[in-house]
Chains A and B, each alone.
Chain A
Amino acid sequence: MRANVLDPGAPRGGAVRPYWLLLRAGFRSQAAYPLAAAAGMFTNAVFGVLKATVLTAAAAAAGGSLAGYSGGQLLAYVWVSQAMIGFVAAMGTAEIGERIRTGDVATDFTRPLDVQGAHLAADLGRSFFSVLPRGLPCLAIGALVTGMTLPAAAAPYVLGAVSLLLATVLSFLCRYAVAILGFWLVDTRGLATFYTVLSGFFMGLSLPVSAFPSWLRTIAHATPFPSVMASPVDVLIGRLTGPDAIRAIAVQAAWVVGIGLLGRVLTARGRRTLEVQGG
């Protein structure tokens, strides 16, 4: 990504520390709400049990496997995807849209920072925080309640970590692009809800994208959403390995660049129409 699409005259050099501190601040801000994290984890786990039950029954009816997932892999898909919900904010975040709706976004522009980059840093902090109180306990519950088959080799975990990182960056960039439409629409809450439902389905939240009928799978892969969840899960649980895993990661990276640039263009254009709300 070009670093200074918006501000060719921005200061350069020593540029990383502020973003690192913003990431930490995002992390620590989340820590202020341990009950919300616990409630989120509990919800994810309950729905995990439901999804595991339904998909296991479907696989049994289909003769033991579903779309090439073995029974244990299907359970792994369910629990890894449930554990990722907080990490990639699959249920959406209100923050940026809310800042535009209320006009607080004005203060973001009074800092010597890239607005998209600053929000990305804070969102990554939020994302990383969710691993401890939401991601790992959810996986542990899954392992205890239904069990799952995870890869024995190290490669899926290494590639999976890369894929997860790209997934959360991509998730942020998509949510940012939707929120920035608020420069034109002012209130993007309805749009954000629609986006959450649509993206949730196409990212493979309710059913693995690989288990979609082929026409629906084609539509899904024309969107960035499988790269937010289905791809990293498939890489992590060892369904996509070797060149397939690398290809999935490359597709994720391409979406990151594409949606990231889209967000930057929208931000630059939006400032021309921006009408800061609330005086």
Chain B
Amino acid sequence: MTTPAIETHDLTRSFRIRGRGPLTAVDGLTVSIAPGEAVGYIGANGAGKSTTIKMLCGILVPTSGAVRTVGLDPVAKRRALAARIGVVFGQRTQLWWDLPVGESFGLLAAIHRMPRPAARARIDALVGDLDMEDYLATPVRQLSLGQRMRAEIAAALIHSPDLLILDEPTIGLDVLSKQRLREFLIRERAERGTTLLLTTHDMGDVQRLCDRILLVDHGRLAYDGTLDGLSATVGAGRVLVLDLDAPGPDLVAIPGTRHLASEGGGLRQRLAYDAAHTSLGAVLSAVGEVRGVRDVAVEEPDIEDVVRRVYQRSAAGELGRAADATD
């Protein structure tokens, strides 16, 4: 059996906060991620995502429980681990602020003790793939956010790590920049089989990049499985956007759907439906019996919506069943 890229058992971390007692940021997290998986680690702000990542990297010491990252104890073997993983904290920089981007890459290659020819080849490849030729000589502090994020990802990949951990890599990026980063990450993973762990608030990141989702809520694992499975579990199906030929009442009685919203006095209506329980054709014909349909669009499940629903269920105490149902 191969060593898991990430393995935690009952991993817990609490903080003492003055005047408010202990806060358990990560609570009994048990999870195993196989090499080559692409995992989206999602949850609300303060759910414990960043704390988990910091324990995986050996930055934070767990309060209790066990963690192994690429088979190593992250705290005891921090430096050996650093050679095997690449980390990007989206809101921080690992580059040298006052130096040209290219020099940061050279420094990082030296820090990872890469032989110079290998370092050169790897840096050239990353510069080409991430389209960074134009600004290699620019000091980091003068880069745009999109340019800097590409450089950060390259910096985390220079030593060809087995595991890439990205903490909100697309935060603040425009649509085009996000798109380019995602495309690069898909290519890079296809070529090297790099394991990916990604935290994000951006559903697009998860949909495009991840084949497995871990959802945390108040430090606890609330869901582990595919995005489709998550949507099915909490009933957030696809959304059908209907443009009708005339304004009218809300379509609340269409079998297998749930009315979400109406605009323009009912001219445009949004219905949630679950493809596992009904078909698009059945929904459309049911709508067609009561109203004239001019145009139709189908939207994929919105992650924020899915997450919100999981939280509502967890607040209602249905958490355990929701997670069990998908095993």
A-to-B contact residues, CB < 8 Å: 6-11, 14, 17-18, 21-22, 25, 28-30, 32-33, 102-104, 106-107, 109-114, 271-272, 274-276, 278-279
B85-93, B207-215, B269-277, B303-311: which one contacts chain A?
A: B85-93
17 A-B interface contacts by CB (under 8 A): A7-B76, A7-B77, A7-B79, A9-B77, A14-B113, A18-B107, A18-B111, A18-B113, A28-B99, A29-B96, A33-B98, A107-B92, A109-B59, A111-B94, A112-B111, A113-B79, A276-B54
User: Are B99 and A29 in contact, CB atoms less than 8 angstroms apart?
Assistant: yes
Binary interface profile of B, 30-70, with partner A (CB < 8 Å = 1, else 0)? 00000000000000010000100010011111000000000
Q: Which 6 pairs show the lowest CB-CB distances between chains A and B?
A: A10-B79, A32-B98, A29-B98, A112-B82, A112-B79, A9-B77
A25-B79 in contact given A113-B111, A271-B60, A274-B59 (Cβ < 8 Å): no
Give the residues in chain A near B80, CB-CB below 8 Å: 7, 9-11, 112
A271-B63 Cα distance, complex, nearest whole Å: 12
Give the residues in chain A near B120, CB-CB below 8 Å: none
A9-B76 in contact given A28-B99, A29-B97, A276-B60 (Cβ < 8 Å): yes
A275-B23 Cα distance, complex, nearest whole Å: 12
A109-B107 in contact given A278-B91, A279-B45 (Cβ < 8 Å): no
User: Are A6 and B98 in contact, CB atoms less than 8 angstroms apart?
Assistant: no
Q: Which of B241-268 contact A (CB under 8 A)?
A: none
Give the residues in chain A near B107, CB-CB below 8 Å: 18, 21-22, 25
Give the residues in chain A near B59, CB-CB below 8 Å: 106, 109-110, 271, 274, 276
Q: Can you add 7 more A-B contacts, CB < 8 Å, to A103-B92, A111-B79, A112-B79?
A: A9-B76, A9-B80, A21-B107, A29-B98, A30-B98, A109-B57, A113-B79
Contact residues of A: prevailing secondary structure = loop
Give the residues in chain B near A112, CB-CB below 8 Å: 79-80, 82-83, 111-113
B139 proximal to A (CB < 8 A): yes
A17-B109 Cα distance, complex, nearest whole Å: 11
User: Are B61 and A6 in contact, CB atoms less than 8 angstroms apart?
Assistant: no
User: Are A106 and B61 in contact, CB atoms less than 8 angstroms apart?
Assistant: no
Contact residues of B: prevailing secondary structure = loop
Which of B45, B54, B61, B111 has a CB less than 8 Å from the CB of A272? B61
User: Are A25 and B96 in contact, CB atoms less than 8 angstroms apart?
Assistant: yes
B186 proximal to A (CB < 8 A): no
A113-B80 Cα distance, complex, nearest whole Å: 9
User: Are A271 and B61 in contact, CB atoms less than 8 angstroms apart?
Assistant: yes
B75 proximal to A (CB < 8 A): yes
Give the residues in chain B near A276, CB-CB below 8 Å: 50, 54, 59-60
Which residue of chain A has the shortest Cβ distance to B82 in the bound complex?
A: A112
Give the residues in chain A near B106, CB-CB below 8 Å: 21
CB distance from B76 to the nearest CB of A (A): 6
User: Are A11 and B113 in contact, CB atoms less than 8 angstroms apart?
Assistant: yes
Which residue of chain A has the shortest Cβ distance to B50 in the bound complex?
A: A279
Which residue of chain B has the shortest Cβ distance to A9 in the bound complex?
A: B77
A11-B59 Cα distance, complex, nearest whole Å: 18
A29-B140 Cα distance, complex, nearest whole Å: 11
Give the residues in chain A near B57, CB-CB below 8 Å: 106, 109-110
Which residue of chain A has the shortest Cβ distance to B60 in the bound complex?
A: A274
Give the residues in chain B near A11, CB-CB below 8 Å: 79-80, 83, 113
Give the residues in chain A near B112, CB-CB below 8 Å: 112
Which residue of chain A has the shortest Cβ distance to B49 in the bound complex?
A: A279
A6-B80 Cα distance, complex, nearest whole Å: 12
Name which of B15, B58, B92, B113 has the most chain A CB atoms within 10 A of its CB.
Answer: B92
User: Are A109 and B93 in contact, CB atoms less than 8 angstroms apart?
Assistant: no
